[in-house]
Every structure is written in structure tokens, then in C-alpha cells.
Chains A and B, each alone.
Chain A
Amino acid sequence: MILRALVFRPILRETLRTALTILGIAVGVAVVVAIALSNQSALRAFRESVDAVAGRANYQIVSDTGLDENLLLALQPLWARGVRFAPVIDVDGVAEGWQTPVRLLGVDLMSDLHFRDYRYAKVNAEGWALFRDDSAIVPETYAREHGLRLGSPLALNVGGVSKTMIVRGILEARGPATAFNGAIVVADIAAAQASFGLAGRLTRIDLIVSADTLAEIRKLLPPNARLERPSRRNERVENMLRAFRVNLFALAGVALLVGMFLVYNTVLISILRRRKDVGVFKTLGASARQIFAAFVIEGLVFGAAGSAIGIALGRGLAFAILKMIGRTVNVLYVTSQPEAIALTPGIVIAGVAVGTILSLASAIQPSMEAAGVRPGVLFGVATGFSRPGRLKPAPTLIALISFLLAFLATRLPPVANVAVGGYVAVLLVIAGFSALAPMIVTATSRLLRGPFRAAFGIVGQLASASIPASLRRTSIATAALSLAIGMMVAVALMVGSFRETVRVWVDQTVGSDLWLRPAKGLSNAQVAVFPNAISADLEKVPFIAAFDRIRGRDVTYGDAIIFVGSGDTNVAMRRGSPPLLAGEMTPDGVLVSESFSVKFNKGVGDVVSLSVASFKITGVYRDYSNDRGVVFMDRRNYTRLYDDDTINTVVIYLRPGVEVQWARRELERRFGPKYHAFTVTNAEVRAEVMKIFDQTFLITYALLAVAIVVAVLGIINTLAALIIERTRELALLRVLGMTVAEVRRMLVLESAVLGITSTLAGLAMGYVLSWILIYVVNKQSFGWTIEFHTPVRLIVTSLAVTFAAALAAGMVPSRLARRIPLAAALKTE
């Protein structure tokens, strides 16, 4: 009976309030679920590809420099002990016809069936057709997508070597044919070695072994090789992506946090409106526990309903987010082409738990307050009006303590590259500002009273005075919108600062005239390469003053994956080395990026031990191209140690007086047909970098826009509830001669007061939060130094949009003012 009267009937009767609250939770849960699904999909796509290619191997022998195939001979005696091994070429290449990445998997087609499943949909079974040097086997999906049949040519470029293969087998979708969304070409290993200049070399050796042979195998390994499980690569990639993923979840969490405010506010308003009913129930004998349970259940109902809808919404939203995340992961981290969204039981449970538990948590405090209502509330003077709230000193103290703890939290070191202290500090700052919300609302309303009176007459004065009169409710709505605005401002400041920092860095770094690249518009720059033979041809070009050959690769460094880059340091030292934070560039030492230096706590004078050799760090430089850390060495050392003389990009300096566009056309004429080369100007490189940057942060803005939407829903909810509560007061104003339009204007102006208060509070909060994001979270998560910069236009636009949204939010509930029945509302009891 209590539940029915206090909770279920009002939920069903007050459709607007119920719908808004559930929608607020649903949106918050949807965003979190969508991020979880997208992250999972991006990782799973990569993991599944790795697993599909690894097949049944339980161990692998790997090396950053590749393996000599003679190692197979050393392993041969272990065959009798049950060790099975398979040589593998597993490298990235480019399908030249479509300029898209493709994986080349070279295996011993005769014996690989122990490790991987191949089922041919179609095959040219004449003699040894599949073993010919130019034979390629492609998945059915890839063949269909690119119109390939048996006998079709397929031009590949692997390691700078171009070769036109012939499709002689088409695989059904199982095993390795499912890897990388089908963008994989299988060839016999000997054919792959012969066709692409990989004679005598292997990427790895896959093993099926028992534990008792591991020690012996380790003894046979060359110095720079490792014996590890295939899943190790997945773990390293997950480590690499951890900071990026945690950041995304944190942003999604903002929307959920705002949703929590919504639930708290709704349950609180519900309780405040039903104080008399609660008093009646208590007078009649209901216990405090029953009252507490009733309102907690209200919170749970909102949470459960919101979570259910949120999960469905989240699945739809995941497709859009996946595109954005997938692009960023591909550009900055690993090749991964996630497409499938799988709503796993784990994510469903997590979504329900997050929405329901947080709603429950939000409902607890107001429910405790309801449980404490005394029956005497029935016998108070029934004026039906809201009285101006009195401020208590405790919130100020809570705020001060929160800010102090936040400052201390920023001093904490990162945990597994995650800026835990930074995130805790963000939460504490939010808590501090929320505690100050009543004070901010009161102060702002007082400040606005004069100007509103002057601008809008008595309507304006009433509007500015009524907000602090319902302080509890309005301060919570204000806190929610301030939070959303604060995060929006903080991220705008962080992204704006970051963008400006990157722009300056690009200007400093990109000092050349032209770049020569082996492919156009590839998301992963390592995939396509030039052969070293291009160097001799470049020497012959009379209008080139100097050129710098850039090459690099991902290597393992303990549990992490870092990037080892190289270039012609003699050219860089003359023409302009990367912007250095410390030390200098030398031919024999290495430079490390700032990210590397921060993450691995290494600086000038320290030694960095790679699997191939150890080097002294002679300088630390700024590098925003990736966050996993870069060790940069002279090209001579790189080619010697990694046995790799290919080139990713050639940075070209023209002789004085040579016109850039003319030089560009000349270079493409000379090198285009032979090396499939494309030129890119300085300006185009800068534009491309900034475009990647903007794309990377697109999702950030999308998530924050969602948080703003949830907060605006909170404003609508609060104002609608206030109107219903103030029916008698509004009826009085109508009776005394205010028109419906004037009452509506007053309500919209109240919304404006909330909007102005939230905007000011959000702006202040945003600046504080941006400091934490820039100097703590970003620094600890990614290792980058960002120079503070205020993107004025972006901030002003964002604030204007959110203020307008808050104002518009007031128009929705103000329509309720039209429907107030004057006589019934003024009826005395």
C-alpha cells in the first residue's frame, strides 16, 4: 500500500517526470555501454586476428628483428619429443590496386594443417600450382569484395618489393581466413620469401609444445629471440590501449554522473512533495524502514528501467562510436578493423549494474531524509509556499576539504600508466563544486536581482528571487548542468591547448619542403615502404639539396610495445633536429620521446636496453605522433641491428630557388611509376596531422554533448517539478493579474538564472579540471607536455550553446503554466 501510494502511482501518473528521469539514466548508461562495446570490439578484432593467425600454436618464437630460418634445423631434434613447429612469415603489405593494407601470411602449405585450418572454396589443383612463386590464396570475403577469381592478378607491395601474384586458391571463412576482416593473403612460405626478398628469414616460428621441452627450446634461441605465448602480444596491445580506453570510459562516466544527479534530484523532489503523505503514513504507524525502502525502490525502478533502455540505445550508439574509435586506434596504435558489435552477457550485466547501482546510490540520501520525516509536519501552517532556503556552513567546509584532497591526489604517481590520482582529483573537484552549488546559486541570484528587475520588471525580480527559494532542488539541477559544462570547458581547454601545442610542434618539426611516401592516405604509416634502392635514385636528382630517410617499427620493451624510429641524423642535425627538451642529437646515441622518458623514467645519460642492443640516451624530444614512446636512432644503426634497410618516408629539402609544386611534379614523374611514390607538401603534412588530431577528439566532444543533453533533461525535470509544486503560488500570481505569458516568461527567466549560474560555475570548474587534465591525467597517461592555451571562440560558442539549451529547457515545463486551474489551486483546506 505504501509503495503503491508513494511510488508506483506517482510514477505512472507523472509521466513527464518519469520519462525524463528514465531517459537521463538511459542516455548515461547508453554511452557507457556503447564505449564498452566499441572498446571490446576494437580489441576483439585485433585479438581474434592474432588468434586466427596463431591457430593452435601454444607458444611462439619471436624476435623484433625476425629469425634466421636455420633455427628450424636446431629445433629438428625435438620433433621426436613431440614438439611441432611451423615457420611463419607474417608481415604487413599493401594491395596496390586499392592502396589498402593487407597481411601476408607465408606458411608451409604442406604441414601447416597441424596449426591452422584451411578449407578451400575454390582451388587450382593442377600439379603444384599453389606452390608457385606467384601464387596467392585469399579468403572468400576478400575475393568477393575485390572481384577476384581463380586466375585474377593481385599486385602486392611487401617491404618495398612489388610483385603481381595470381589468385590460385580461395578459402572459406575459417581459421586465418577470418583474420583482419579477411584482408589477408596466404602463400607458401618459400614463395613468399622468394617473391618479396625475404630469403632465409622468418617472422616467427609457431610451436605446439609441452611444458617439459620449454627449457631446452630456450637454450636454442639466439640472443634477441623470445619464447612466449601468442596471447602475450594481445596483452601488450591491451596495455598500450589502456590509457586511451580508460580516458574514454572516464568521459562516458561524466554522462552517467550527470544522470545520477538527475535521479537524486527526482527522488528528492518526490520526497519533498510527499512530505505530508509520509507524515500521514507515519502517523498511522508506518515505520521509518518502510518509508526508506519505498523511496529507495523508486530510485531502483528508475535505474532498472533506464538501464534496460540504455543497453538497447547503447548498442545502436556503439556502431557510430566504433567508427570513431576504430579510426583512432588504427592511426595511433595498431591495425584493427572492428566491425562486429557483440552484446555479451558481461556488458549487459555491467550496464544494468552501473545504471541500477548508481541510481540506488543516488536515492539513498533523500530516502533517509524521507524516513526521518516527523508526523508533526501535518500540523504546520499550510501556506503552500516555498520559503527562501538558509545556507549551512557545512557545505563550504566539505568543499574546502574536497579541494585540498584533490590537490593531494594530483601528487600521486600513476598506476599501470593510468592516472588514478588525476581521476580521483577530478571527482573530488566535482564534489567540492557540487557542495558549493547552494552558495553559488544564492550568490548569483542575488547578483542578478537588480539587472533582472531593470531588464524585465517584476517578472524578472520574481524569477531571480524564486530560484534560491527552492534551493535544494535548484542547486542540484545547477550542480548537474555545471558538471556537464565544467567537463565541456575542461576538455575544450585541454583539447585546445593540446591542439595548439601540436600545431606549434608540427611547425617546428616539419621543416622540410616535401615528403615522399610509398602510398597515399594509409591509416597506418608503417605498412608501405620503399626499397633502399630509391636512395641511389634520389642522389641523382639535381634539385634535391638533402634527404632524410625515415623508417621505424614497433618493438617489445618488457611488457610494453614501443616504437623504434630512425633517420639520417647527419641531415637532421644540419637541417633541424626534432624539438629537444633536453640534451642533443648524436649519430651514436639515441633520442627518446618525452612519452618514453616519462613512462619508463629514463632521461639524458641513462641507458635504454632494446632486444638488439643498448644505447645511451643523449636527448629527450617532443613527439606527439604516438604515446607509447619512441627511441630514435641513426639509420645506420637501425639497418644494421634490424636487418631492415627499407624506408617509410623520405623527407626532402630542395635547393634554394626550386619551386615546390614543380619539384613535386618532377618527383612524382621520376619515382611514381617505379616506386609507387606520392609527394606531400609541408602544408599537406601539417593539415593531415591536424585532421588526425581533430578526428581523434571527435568522440570526446560527442560524449560531452551527451552529458549536456542529460543535464538539460535535469533542468526540464526540475523546473517541471517546481511548477507542479508551486501550483498555488503560480495561481496566486495569475489571480493577482499576471497573464499566462508573463508567468511563462518568469519561468523561462528562472531557467535563465539556472543557466547563468551553471555557466559561471561550470566555467570556474572547467578551468580547475583542465589543469588536472593537462598537467596530471594527460602527462601520466600519455607522457605529453601540453602548453596551456585558451581557445576563446570554442569556449564562448560552447557556453552559448549550453546556455541556450538551458533556456530552451525552461520553455518546455513553462507550458504547464497554462493549465493551472486557478480556483482549484487556491482552494483552502
Chain B
Amino acid sequence: MRVRLDHVSHSYAATDESAPVQVLDDVSLDILSGDFAVLMGASGSGKSTLLNLIGAVDKPTIGRVFLEETETSLLDEKRLTMIRRTSIGYVFQFFNLIPTLNVRENIAFPLSLIGVPRDATKERVDEVLEEVGLAPRAKHYPNELSGGEMQRVAIGRAIVHRPPLILADEPTGNLDSRNGEMILDLLRRVHAARRPTVIMATHSIRASARGDYVVRVADGRVGGG
């Protein structure tokens, strides 16, 4: 899936009478289908905001966002939800698993929303459990897993419905180096196997090396890539 941002600026409304906070300033970006792009910048540089705009979680204050030929900045909330449901997979820094669902159920969650029949869901989830190496832990709950295992579940959830776009926001930010490497390897393998577009935000130079190219983000602006 091709991702394009066209002169996007974004600010957050302030809670008091001071001026709104500008987080992105005239960003234009073109990520081709199948790319593994890394957004690299320090904390507060605007990379998470970029991911939110690309991931149809938020709409830009100024500018346009395109997923393929669809301008998401013009869509209503219901259609944005459908895009998120079917076309995008998310991996978060703090895993964000659903604590009341076990590993299998967490991975199956997107398929449940889409309405995939039970047999097909089981078959697909079994595949993904193998792929992320968690088949023996399928019935465990998130509070029984390590950080690395939780992030593998999150990746499984992000890929189970074969979305053309995967967004990863600091996927190793809450892991030790060994687990972090494991997660990055997994992301790389996923990308190699099916060539979804992967956009990963990170402040780690080591992590950034796993991508096809790096887009530097600083003070709400982009450069490089």
C-alpha cells in the first residue's frame, strides 16, 4: 500500500488560553508500496503523530493524507474505522494487548471484527502462532507473558488479517536488547514474506538499520530517506 502525505501540518488544541501546540510542520512524504520505512527522531519529534495520521487515528489540521488513492483526511469516522479494521496492522511500544483475552484470542481479534468464520479463523491463527513462535502459549493471558512474548502477540495480531500496511510505534522501546533484536527480526521476516508496507517509528539507530531507508523527523519536520 502506498502512503503519501501532502504538505501536512498538525497541531493539538491547548487546554488553556495559550496557543495550540504545533507538532508537524508542512510534512510531505511518499512511501511506496512494499517499502520498510523507518521514521527516526528523538522523543517529541512528531513521529508518533505521523503514525497516527497515516494510521487513520487522527486527521491533519492542514494537508492531505493518502492511502493508495484514498484521501483519508476526507473520510468520516465510520469509513476510517473500516480502513483501520481491514487494511492496517498496529504494533505499539507498550504492547496494548487486551488483558481479558488469551494469546490466541488476541491474535484472532481483527478476524473477529471482520467476521471471518470460525474454522478459517482457527486455521489462520494457528499459522500466525507458528510464525511468531507462540503456539505453546496460545491459552495464556497477557499477564502471564514476558515483554518479548507480549510484543510477539502484538505482531501476530497486526499481521493475522494480512493488512497491506503495518505501523509499528517504538516496538522495541519497552524491551531489553535481546528481545528487541528478536522483534526486529520478526518484523523483517514478516516484511520479507508478504511485502506489506511497514512504517516503523524509533529513536534507536540500531533499530533503524533494519529498514529499507530512514526518514529523519525533527521538530515536526522531515528530512532524509
Which residues of A are interface residues toward B (Cβ below 8 A)?
Answer: 381-388, 457-458, 461-462, 465-466, 469, 729, 732-740, 742, 822-824, 826-828
Contacts and interface: CB of A to CB of B under 8 A. Distances in A.
B57 A465 contact: no
Contact of A823 (B49, B81, B113): B49
Interface stretch (B26-34, B89-97, B191-199): B89-97
Nearest to A732: B96
7 contacts: A383-B94, A458-B113, A469-B100, A735-B84, A735-B90, A738-B113, A827-B48
A94 B16 CA distance: 75
- The 5 residue pairs across chains A and B that have the minimum distance between CB atoms: A737-B85, A465-B100, A458-B112, A823-B58, A823-B52
Interface string B86-109: 100010111110111100010001
A823 B57 contact: yes
A466 B81 contact: no
B90 A736 contact: yes
B78 interface: yes
Contacts of B148: none
Nearest to A465: B100
A385 B57 CA distance: 20
Contacts of B109: 458, 736
Given A736-B84, A737-B81, A462 B100 contact: yes
A387 B99 contact: yes
Nearest to B43: A828
B46 interface: no
Given A388-B143, A465-B100, A737-B113, 7 more contacts: A384-B94, A385-B99, A387-B99, A388-B99, A469-B99, A736-B84, A822-B57
B78 A739 contact: yes
Contacts of A739: 78, 81
B122 to A, nearest CB: 14
B113 A462 contact: no
Interface string B131-170: 0000000000101000000000000010000000000011
B110 interface: yes
B57 A826 contact: yes
B55 interface: yes
A736 B110 contact: yes
Nearest to B90: A735
Contacts of A387: 99, 143
A737 B86 CA distance: 8
A90 B177 CA distance: 100
Given A387-B143, A469-B99, A738-B113, A828 B93 contact: yes
A136 B93 CA distance: 95
A733 B52 CA distance: 15
Nearest to B93: A828
A822 B110 contact: no
Contacts, number: 83
A25 B145 CA distance: 44
Nearest to A729: B98
Contacts of B92: 826, 828
Nearest to A825: B57
Given A737-B86, A739-B78, A822-B57, A828 B100 contact: no
A739 B80 CA distance: 9
Nearest to A737: B85
A828 B47 CA distance: 12
Given A734-B81, A736-B84, A382 B94 contact: yes
B99 A736 contact: no
B77 interface: yes
Interface in B24-80: 48-49, 52, 55, 57-58, 77-78
A738 B112 CA distance: 10
A388 B144 CA distance: 12
Interface centre among B58, B85, B90, B98 (most CB of A within 10 A): B98
Given A458-B112, A826-B57, A828-B94, A388 B100 contact: yes
Contacts of A458: 109, 112-113
Contacts of A382: 94
B43 to A, nearest CB: 10
B99 A738 contact: no
Nearest to A469: B100
Contact of A462 (B58, B77, B90, B98): B98
B44 to A, nearest CB: 11
Contacts of A737: 81-82, 84-86, 110, 113-114
Contacts of A469: 99-100
Nearest to B88: A737
Contacts of A381: 94
Nearest to A735: B57
B146 to A, nearest CB: 12
Interface in B7-32: 12
Nearest to B53: A823
Nearest to A827: B48
A457 B77 contact: no
A379 to B, nearest CB: 14
A465 B58 contact: no
Contacts of A823: 49, 52, 57-58
Contacts of A386: 99
A385 B98 CA distance: 8
A391 to B, nearest CB: 15
B113 A736 contact: yes
A381 B142 CA distance: 13
Contacts of A740: 77, 81
A674 to B, nearest CB: 82
B41 to A, nearest CB: 15
Contacts of A466: 100
Contacts of B55: 735
A735 B99 CA distance: 16
A183 B90 CA distance: 82
Nearest to B86: A737
B134 to A, nearest CB: 19
Contacts of B157: 736
Contacts of A383: 94-96, 99
B139 to A, nearest CB: 14
Contacts of B57: 735, 822-823, 826
A804 to B, nearest CB: 26
Contacts of A461: 101, 105
A386 B95 CA distance: 14
Contacts of A826: 52, 57, 92, 96
A384 B93 CA distance: 13
B28 to A, nearest CB: 21
Contacts of B84: 735-737
A828 B96 CA distance: 11
Contacts of A462: 98, 100-101
Nearest to B89: A736
Contacts of A729: 98
A742 B112 CA distance: 12
A316 B1 CA distance: 67
A183 B83 CA distance: 80
Nearest to B12: A824
Nearest to A734: B81
Contacts of B82: 737
A742 B77 CA distance: 13
B22 to A, nearest CB: 15
A759 to B, nearest CB: 23
A462 B99 CA distance: 10
A457 B99 contact: no
Interface centre among A461, A729, A737, A822 (most CB of B within 10 A): A737
Contacts of A457: 112, 115
A755 to B, nearest CB: 19
B56 to A, nearest CB: 9
A459 to B, nearest CB: 9
B53 to A, nearest CB: 9
A107 to B, nearest CB: 79
Contacts of B115: 457
A7 B101 CA distance: 35
Contacts of B112: 457-458
Interface centre among A384, A386, A828 (most CB of B within 10 A): A828
